[in-house]
Amino acid sequence: MSTQPTVLITGASSGIGATYAERFAQRGHDLVLVARDEQRLQSLAARLREQFAVTVDVLVADLNKAEALGTVEARLRDDASIGVLINNAGLGQSGGFLAQNAESLERLIGVNITAVTRLAAAIAPRLAEAGNGAIVNIGSVVGLAPELGMTVYGATKAFVQFLSQGLALELGPKGVYVQAVLPAATRTEIWARSGLDINTLPEVMEVEDLVDAALVGYDRREPITIPPLAHGERWAALDGARQMLMGDLRQAEVASRYRA
């Protein structure tokens, strides 16, 4: 058994989650893999056990189902060996806002917001008490760009970014590292599941490149990692402008430009 913290990864049967599993196994971490597809999870787990001699547990769970989500929460609360949560499971959006219905909205928000928040809440108290550990939330650059038209999906990813930044401020002083990773278009199955042809996109990042870049940010303890962003100073400028805007707010006074 590894002396390093166990890593629990959601959405681990393919794509970003499976690549995170392989990379952490390479680093000698034991794993708990969570996803809906048991056959693919078991196949991945068997390969990682054999290749890297790590312990790999499998939790088959649909995070949109209350009982399954509760099972994963309980594992995060009760298993003291788990020191890293990779909140990767997510759903994409098929069609614009007018094409959505109550069921599709509930499903999208359930996985992309509710599950992410509840799983972070399940592990955070234990990590804070221990004074170490990490929570990694997979967001998206779409959360920065309403112009891209994926209104609900983008809103869920904006939530993930805000949640991560807030958790970093609250948990960082207690020794817990929180990272938000914001991919752009990445070659994963989420596109096909959303009814979109990834081959119609002009530029797509390979999933291995995405995860390797995210792990560079993880090792550097970046709060926000944007693998496709060539000029990091532009994110710093955007965040600085946001903080300047907050400094200009006067809560007790209406701005003169709004006075009749």
- Nearest C-alpha neighbor of 33 from the set 78, 86, 69, 80: 86
Cβ atoms 81, 102 nearer than 8 A: no
Q: Active site includes 153?
A: yes
**Long-range CB contacts (< 8 A, 24+ apart) of 48-53?**
48/21, 48/22, 51/25, 52/25, 52/26, 52/28
Catalytic one of 153, 177, 218, 258:
153
Burial-class residue 76 by CB neighbours within 10 Å (0-12, 13-18, 19+): buried
Cβ atoms 94, 196 nearer than 8 A: yes
**137-149: b (≥16 Cβ within 10 Å) or e:** bbbbbbbbeeeee
Q: Give the catalytic positions in this structure.
A: 153
